[in-house]
Amino acid sequence: MTAYPSDPAVAAFVTAVNAGDKAAFFATLTDDATMSDDGTDRDLSAWAEREIFSSNGRMDIEDVSPDGRALTATYTNATWGGMRTRWAFTVTDGHISRFETEQA
């Protein structure tokens, strides 16, 4: 990685994704966290299982916003290969309450 998020919750999210650590991933989120993929809201648990954990998802961060809550990354998994993506995170009380990802 050439950049890393300064926001602790977002940094923990990226670390958990890259480690394939499901428990750590869900620990970064609020109990009622939501997400969207390419502008469509998804079931977060089902999406994470499909796009991260069962397909070995990984993030190689290219750029991070000054507040550490938005980033551009090459996202790679066994299903789709690698693609350039944008990620935006809403952090509430130190946990991610929403994230949005899309192709960049």
Domain count along the chain: 1
What pTM was computed for the model?
0.95
Element (H, E) at 103: strand 95-103
- CATH of residue 49's domain is 3.10.450.50
Average pLDDT value over all residues in the chain: 96
37, part of any domain: yes
pLDDT digits (tens, 9 = 90+) for 6-41: 999 999 999 999 999 999 999 999 999 999 999 999
Distance CA 8, CA 16 (A): 12
3, part of any domain: no
78, part of any domain: yes
2, part of any domain: no
pLDDT digits (tens, 9 = 90+) for 42-57: 999 999 999 999 999 9
Domain that holds residue 95: 8-103
pLDDT at 2: 61
